[in-house]
Structure 1
Amino acid sequence: MSSDELPGWLPAWCLDHLGSRPAHVLFQLRQMSTVFGLRLTDGTDIVVKARADDGRAVSCVAAQARLAECGFPCARPLTPVVGAGSLAVHAEEFRPGGEVLHGDSPDVAVRYAEVFARSMADLATATISPPLPNPRWARWDHSDSGVWPAIDFLDERDQSAVPGYVADTAERARKRLLAADLPCVLGHADFEAQNLRWRGRELWAVHDWDSLAWQPEAALVGAASGTFSSARPPTLAPIESSEAFLAAYQDHRGRAFTAVEREIAWAASLWPAAHNARWEALHGTTPVSGNALREQAAERLRRAAC
């Protein structure tokens, strides 16, 4: 893709907010956001992210900036969020390289838990408005009717394809989560292997700060304990590895969870997997999360007291 094929608004946006136009396109990705890797005419390599303006982006970018100030390994925002029509847009440093750390053993879980604990400690120093609504795969706190949050492109599909155990697990986990009276904090709600890069044993970068959520600490940690090993497709980590993640997180934060927080963590570990299992069923793909959920749901629900 050449710079001539970029969206019409982007060259002028770069000139206005970065002082230089795009000269070369390094890459382009389209997922929840559209991400452009660009080399500007002044030789600087940068990344521009554009997404539908749902009100979350300003808080997410402010939190990312705070993390970068603290020395956390993430791309430093170069601009605040600026509107471009219906889009929320910002630019950040280009931080390429590093490798995905694969594996779902307890030892790997401990390494991921250390990163998550550090991110939570640094995010605790950020004073920003909550980035609501929470991401759809972490939106167990929705106010829509039924178990699942309203997601049009999923709701329009044949819901009878979703196995009963998936919906039952989601309902029981959500009921336990909603019953907790715990304060909400900021945390990364898409803490998956695919969003982290390592150089040997050193963490190089954590990506996807658009996926911050505002939920109880124990829920955020519990969800991460289930998702940390996911690359593509996403899955649910083994129970013993989630257990190691939770223990290591508490050690690094220097505070043991209460009994209620432990239950909430186990309940939250189920919600992303249930969301992913529903997605698989509605799209007719291999039930990777679905099979893991089928095998583990009973024990995780028991630990969640639900």
Structure 2
Amino acid sequence: MSLDDLPAWLPAWCVDRLGDEPVGVLFELRQMSAVFGLRLAGGRDVVVKAREDDGRAASCVAAQARLAERGFPCARPLTQAVRVGALAVHAEESRPGGELLRGDSPDVAARYAAVFARLMADLADVTVAPPLPNPRWARWDHTDAGLWPAIGFLDERDQSAVPAYVVDTAERVRKRLLATDLPCVLGHADFEAQNLRWRDGDVWAVHDWDSLAWQPEAALVGAASGTFAGALPPTLAPVGSSAAFLAVYQDLRGRRFTAEEQEVAWAAGLWTAAHNARWEALHGDTPLCGDAVRAQAAERLRRANA
């Protein structure tokens, strides 16, 4: 990507907010957000993120800034989230490098659980407005009509493509999740391998702070225990590895989950997988999560008491 291909608003925004114009494009990524790695005239490398302004960004960036101040391995925001037209935009330090940690064994699960426990501990006293609505793949707590949260580009597709066992699984775990009255906390709702980088055996960077959520701790941990191994496309970890993740997390946090929290954790991990299985079916993708849900649903539903 060249400078000429940048959005028209971006160079002036960099001058206004960062004091320098971009002179080079290091990378561009587009998924739910547009992410631009830029070299500024003064020699700094920065990352600018722009996404639809749904009211969540200010809280997410503020929480990320607090974590970075405390030394948590994440990029330090250089600006607050500000509105540009219909977009919420912020800049942060560039934190390149590191490698993916692949695998879904219990040992790998334990390493991811240690990072998540540290993350949740550091977020525990961060006070921001709840970043609602929660990310769409974690939005079992929606108030829309029907089973799934309203997502136009998915809802307009032929829903008969979604296997009945995926729908049944989602209905059962959502019913279990909605029955809880556990308090909500702030946590990372897209804790996948693709969003972490490691260096010399230690975590180097946790990315995607746009995906903070406001849900019960057990639900956030349970979702992470199922998704931690996911790159692109996402997947569902084996039951034994999710169990290892949950055990290590509780050990490091110094508190055992209650029976209700255990059930909520198992339900939340299965909800995310069901969402991803629906996505696969509606897009005609290889059913990685779909096959995992088929294979694991009975045991995970049993553990969720769903």
TM-score, normalised with respect to structure 1: 0.99
User: 1:37 maps to which residue?
Assistant: 37
**Residues 117-156 of structure 1: matches in 2 within 5 Å?**
117-156=117-156
RMSD after superposition: 0.6
The Cα shift of 1:82 comes to 1.1
The Cα shift of 1:145 comes to 1.0
Please give the per-residue CA displacement for 1:113-133, whole angstroms capped at 9, x wherever unaligned.
000000000111211000000
The Cα shift of 1:233 comes to 1.2
**Residues 94-173 of structure 1: matches in 2 within 5 Å?**
94-173=94-173
Q: Which amino acid aligns with 1:197?
A: R
Q: 1-side partners of 2:232 and 2:87: how far apart? A: 28
User: 2:238 maps to which residue?
Assistant: 238
Q: 2-side partners of 1:39 and 1:181: how far apart? A: 47
Q: Which runs of 5+ in 2 are unaligned?
A: none
The Cα shift of 1:56 comes to 0.3
Confirm whether residue 11 of structure 1 aligns to residue 1 of structure 2. no
Please give the per-residue CA displacement for 1:258-303, whole angstroms capped at 9, x wherever unaligned.
0100000001110110000000100111100000000000000000
Q: 2-side partners of 1:43 and 1:131: how far apart? A: 34
User: 1:86 maps to which residue?
Assistant: 86
**Residues 155-194 of structure 1: matches in 2 within 5 Å?**
155-194=155-194
Count the aligned residue pairs: 306
User: 2:281 maps to which residue?
Assistant: 281
Q: 1-side partners of 2:155 and 2:286: how far apart? A: 20
Confirm whether residue 200 of structure 1 aligns to residue 200 of structure 2. yes
Q: Which amino acid aligns with 1:76?
A: R
Q: 2-side partners of 1:49 and 1:99: how far apart? A: 22
Q: Which runs of 5+ in 1 are unaligned?
A: none
Q: Which amino acid aligns with 1:268?
A: A
Q: 1-side partners of 2:165 and 2:43: how far apart? A: 54
Secondary structure, aligned partner of 2:198? strand
Q: Which amino acid aligns with 1:225?
A: S
User: 1:269 maps to which residue?
Assistant: 269
Secondary structure, aligned partner of 2:290? helix
User: 1:23 maps to which residue?
Assistant: 23
The Cα shift of 1:70 comes to 1.2
Please give the per-residue CA displacement for 1:222-270, whole angstroms capped at 9, x wherever unaligned.
0000000011211100000000000000001000000100000001110
The Cα shift of 1:200 comes to 2.4
Q: Which amino acid aligns with 1:129?
A: A
Secondary structure, aligned partner of 1:109? helix
Secondary structure, aligned partner of 2:252? helix
The Cα shift of 1:98 comes to 0.4
Q: Which amino acid aligns with 1:54?
A: D
Please give the per-residue CA displacement for 1:68-94, whole angstroms capped at 9, x wherever unaligned.
011100000000011111110000000
Secondary structure, aligned partner of 2:130? coil
**Residues 251-266 of structure 1: matches in 2 within 5 Å?**
251-266=251-266
Q: 2-side partners of 1:130 and 1:75: how far apart? A: 21
The Cα shift of 1:4 comes to 2.3
Q: 2-side partners of 1:205 and 1:53: how far apart? A: 25
Secondary structure, aligned partner of 1:39? strand
Secondary structure, aligned partner of 1:132? coil
Please give the per-residue CA displacement for 1:156-214, whole angstroms capped at 9, x wherever unaligned.
00000000000000010000000001000011000000100001211100000000000
The Cα shift of 1:154 comes to 0.3
The Cα shift of 1:5 comes to 2.1
TM-score, normalised with respect to structure 2: 0.99
Q: 2-side partners of 1:253 and 1:260: how far apart? A: 17
Q: Which amino acid aligns with 1:42?
A: G
Q: 2-side partners of 1:134 and 1:214: how far apart? A: 7
